[in-house]
Homo-oligomer: A and B are copies of this chain.
Amino acid sequence: MTAEVGRAPGTVGPGARHERDGWRHRHVLDVDDFTLDEIELVMATAAEMKEILARPIKKVPTLRGTSVTIIFWEASTRTRVSFEVAAKNLSADVVNIAAQASSVAKGESLVDTIRTIEALGADMIVMRHAISGAPYLAAEHFGGHILNGGDGWHAHPTQALLDLYTIRKEIGAIDGLRIAMVGDLAQGRTVRSLAYLLSKFQDVKMYFVAPPLLKMKEDILEHLRERKVQFFEETALDKVLPEVDVVYQTRIQKERFGDRIEDYEKCRGIYILTLDSLARMKTKSIVMHPLPRLEEIAMEVDQDPRAGYFRQAQNGLYVRMALLTMVL
């Protein structure tokens, strides 16, 4: 940002809208207000990015001279590195801030941090924050572009879009999809965002497989009812496996249980995908996982072509390159 801070930030200001091809998002905060056309545009742009990365020199000058600041209040190697490589492939300059070690530790407010990052020249901020909704507050005070890399249990929009890209590529059309989401559905923002995104399509059936403590939250279920999406809440995994095109496994996240170690111990290890599980699944189906994976998918599953989680991580690079290009 070279416009004066606190003055009208010009074409990237809050009033500006990108109308190219129907795309109208200055930020990527959540997927809830994406139209189907916009989602299609992300998918198509991601496919273009994949082609770029297949060239001998995997770099394009699209974001040359653009300054991207990645600030994560919660550790996440995977999402951070994925955004960093994506931005560098597009020739952006990237600055990393580990918020624990930053001025935030001196007690600075989120708004001050964001306004300062703008003053220090950032055109885009990729942020992850423990507080749900934090990126919305940031977007109100930033003249550039915010990309939400995960906020509390709320949303993880780039993950949802890369998940969708993966399903499209591996299974085909989303209309008519049968998907099981498994594990920590209460605190896993990944599955929440994906459920939201899939609700925009036709005839999708969702199976939420979770222990009572970790059931999908009511706000999502309510949304699905409104959209007339069929969903089933299950506690047993095995009977669901033959029905679905996608098993979306998640990690029971110890760090989200805080002091409730007993609850954590009760929940982990309930749903472990093994070769036996694969045997019950359709031939054309896929196992997904946002990674990192602990014990919830046995290592031997990796050898099966239906193990899609590392391909899924790879797709994240294409989708994030696409989004970095599209918001600009």
Residues in chain A within 8 A of chain B (CB atoms): 2, 4-6, 50, 53-59, 64-67, 69, 75-78, 81-82, 84-85, 88-89, 93, 95, 97-98, 101-109, 111-113, 115-122, 251, 254-255, 291-294, 299, 302, 305, 307, 310-311, 313-314, 316-317
**Between-chain CB contacts (< 8 Å), 17 pairs:** A5-B314, A75-B101, A76-B103, A77-B101, A77-B104, A88-B93, A89-B121, A103-B291, A107-B292, A108-B293, A111-B299, A116-B291, A116-B292, A116-B313, A119-B313, A119-B317, A121-B317
* Least CB separation from A56: chain B residue: B65
* Least CB separation from A98: chain B residue: B101
Q: Is there contact, CB below 8 Å, between B93 and A67?
A: no
Supplied contacts A58-B67, A109-B299, 8 more A-B pairs, CB within 8 Å: A2-B53, A2-B58, A4-B311, A58-B121, A59-B64, A75-B101, A78-B120, A81-B97
Q: Which residues of B contact A101 (CB under 8 A)?
A: 75, 77, 98
How distant is A221 from chain B, measured CB to nearest CB, in Å?
28
C-alpha spacing A294/B107, complex, angstroms: 7
Q: Is there contact, CB below 8 Å, between A115 and B77?
A: no
Q: Which residues of B contact A56 (CB under 8 A)?
A: 65
C-alpha spacing A121/B144, complex, angstroms: 27
Q: Is there contact, CB below 8 Å, between A311 and B6?
A: yes
Q: Which residues of B contact A116 (CB under 8 A)?
A: 78, 291-292, 310, 313
Q: Which residues of B contact A6 (CB under 8 A)?
A: 302, 305, 307, 310-311
How distant is A82 from chain B, measured CB to nearest CB, in Å?
5
Q: Is there contact, CB below 8 Å, between A85 and B314?
A: no
Q: In the complex where A84-B95, A117-B81, A314-B120 touch, is A103 in contact with B292 (Cβ < 8 A)?
A: yes
Q: In the complex where A6-B307, A81-B69 touch, is A106 in contact with B316 (Cβ < 8 A)?
A: no
Q: How many copies does the complex hold?
A: 3
How distant is A316 from chain B, measured CB to nearest CB, in Å?
7
Q: Which residues of B contact A108 (CB under 8 A)?
A: 291-294
Q: Is there contact, CB below 8 Å, between B120 and A95?
A: no
How distant is A202 from chain B, measured CB to nearest CB, in Å?
29
How distant is A97 from chain B, measured CB to nearest CB, in Å?
6
How distant is A21 from chain B, measured CB to nearest CB, in Å?
22
Q: Is there contact, CB below 8 Å, between A313 and B53?
A: no
* Least CB separation from A67: chain B residue: B85
Q: In the complex where A2-B54, A115-B310 touch, is A102 in contact with B75 (Cβ < 8 A)?
A: yes
